[in-house]
Chains A and B, each alone.
Chain A
Amino acid sequence: MSAFVDIHDVTHVYARAEDGLPAVQNLNLKVHEGEFAAIVGPSGCGKSTLMKLATGLQFPVEGTVIVDGRQVGAPVKLAGMAFQNPTMLPWRTTLDNILLPLEIVEPHRSRLRRHKAEYVAKAESLLAQVGLKGQGHKFPWQLSGGMQQRASLCRALIHEPKLLMLDEPFGALDSFTREELWCVMRDLHAAQKVTIILVTHDLREAAFLADRIFCMSARPGRIVAEREVEFPRPRDLEITYTPEFSALVHELRGHIAQARQAA
């Protein structure tokens, strides 16, 4: 099986970088279709650069990025994104926020006006899946941080992307809400069969959600360890309290500590 996302020997230097130091160097990473991959690493290791490379917001100085069988030379259009900050537009209702990608992406863009009801129904069903049933008419600032983050996940999924990029989406939430959203994410992944790349600082989050975990080194970032996660699905939150889970987190912790020391 060939990889859905194939980042091959990529080195990237930002044009704005004053020291000319690459953000990532000789980065190699393969994620298969439908897989849930997590990327962990010390802060400033170029995880966000990786997100931009995989979605075609930046192009590598060296190496190739292949997504869905094609070399990335422009924004990929088949990706959905969510960030730590929910970035909802305050003048739109939650529902209209979720419909925003459809106003950009073809073929939805030209269909949206005539098939509005169909799309609204889809948004409502996504809202129900993340536990926000019937909250679409509210403005985002009337929702709590966790609820806004759920809505932001709906926005990332509304156009049925083949690739979902998550940049520390649960980083700003309290630990109970975070665990709740892990389960939401787990169920969305199971239901939508979408390929997910999750960038996170939280090793437990990576271990609970992912099929495959990549550890990155400090800047210039590259992959120092790759680890498959064998826990059977569907996973229950209870597994996070098993010795096997602790051992995995401990192992990951070791890689990160090493990566930090090397810096």
Chain B
Amino acid sequence: MKTKNKLALAPWVFTVGFFALWEILCHVLKISSFILPAPSTILWAVWEYRSQLAYHAMHTLWMTLAGFGLAVGFGLLLGMVLGSSRLINAGTYPLLVGFNSIPKVAVVPILVFWFGVGWVPPVMTAFLISFFPIVVNVATGIATVEPEMEDVLRALGASKRDIVFKVGVPRAMPYFFGSLKVAITLAYVGSVIGEQNASNVGIGNLLTRASAAFEVPLVWAALVVLAVLGVIMYAITAYAERSMTGWAQRSQMAA
């Protein structure tokens, strides 16, 4: 078989193999389904609770996308400002890093004080947790414009704005799309944390309730749904990256 076909097949083989191994171990070692249910049990639970899971998953998806959308807009803007001004960059960096170091689960109670229980805390948590990598990457892309390129344009009378928009922003796009892949997974973590602590709907909330009631298969089914949704969203951002910045991915390493 050709290497290319092997590579295309590998993810499927490894994934199926992983679950097969899990299934076999559960049966051979007679592990209680309370500790670790076999994949077949989990799959059955997914089917059994399908309408409930679908309802909550859709909610989580919306929370994630809303928070992610805010993070993209805000991250691009702030990244552009930080990338084009050394002063603002130096001034705000400690604040940004400090803020990013706070575990966002600790911020959720404050969000509840401000906005009450509902859809706002999950969206805000998703936003707060995911904007940082976008800011840093966009700022880096803009700040690292080649000085010769800047000279060429400045000698023609280009303003700072011209340089940022003609060179800086397009140049930052590969960094930006790279950061989106990180940000979408983080946004997802954020919305689930928000739902677990401050919402009446969503997979996060379902997880909290199911574990409180010791409905172990439902907990696992919810986790599986989360994982699948996560992979799909990651794949969509990765696809967007490839189609938008093909010019940046021409090395042998990326092929």
A87-B148 contact, Cβ under 8 Å, with A75-B156, A105-B156: yes
**B170 with A89: CB separation less than 8 A:** yes
**B166 with A81: CB separation less than 8 A:** no
**A159 with B148: CB separation less than 8 A:** no
Q: Report which of A57, A90, A106 forms a contact with B155, defined as CB distance below 8 A.
A: A57
A159 (CB) vs chain B CBs: closest residue:
B156
**Interface segment, one of A36-44, A96-104, A212-220:** A96-104
A85 (CB) vs chain B CBs: closest residue:
B148
**B162 with A81: CB separation less than 8 A:** no
A56 at the interface (CB under 8 A from B): yes
**B155 with A81: CB separation less than 8 A:** yes
* Closest Cβ–Cβ distance, residue B114 to chain A (whole Å): 42
A141 at the interface (CB under 8 A from B): yes
B13 at the interface (CB under 8 A from A): no
Task: Give Cα distance in the complex from A81 to B153, angstroms.
Answer: 9
Range for the number of chain A residues in contact with chain B? 20 to 34
* Closest Cβ–Cβ distance, residue A166 to chain B (whole Å): 12
* Closest Cβ–Cβ distance, residue A110 to chain B (whole Å): 13
- CB under 8 Å from chain B, chain A span 70-114: 74-77, 79, 81, 83, 85, 87, 89-91, 100-101, 103-106
A186 at the interface (CB under 8 A from B): no
**A83 with B148: CB separation less than 8 A:** yes
**A105 with B157: CB separation less than 8 A:** yes
Best-buried of A74, A89, A155 by chain B (most CB within 10 Å): A89
**A90 with B151: CB separation less than 8 A:** no
* Closest Cβ–Cβ distance, residue B153 to chain A (whole Å): 6
A104-B156 contact, Cβ under 8 Å, with A83-B148, A87-B146, A89-B170: yes
- CB under 8 Å from chain A, chain B span 149-168: 149, 151-158, 162, 166-167
Among all A-B residue pairs, the 4 with the closest Cβ atoms: A55-B155, A77-B157, A104-B156, A104-B158
Residues of B within 8 A of A (CB): 146, 148-149, 151-158, 162, 166-167, 170-171, 173, 245, 247-248, 250
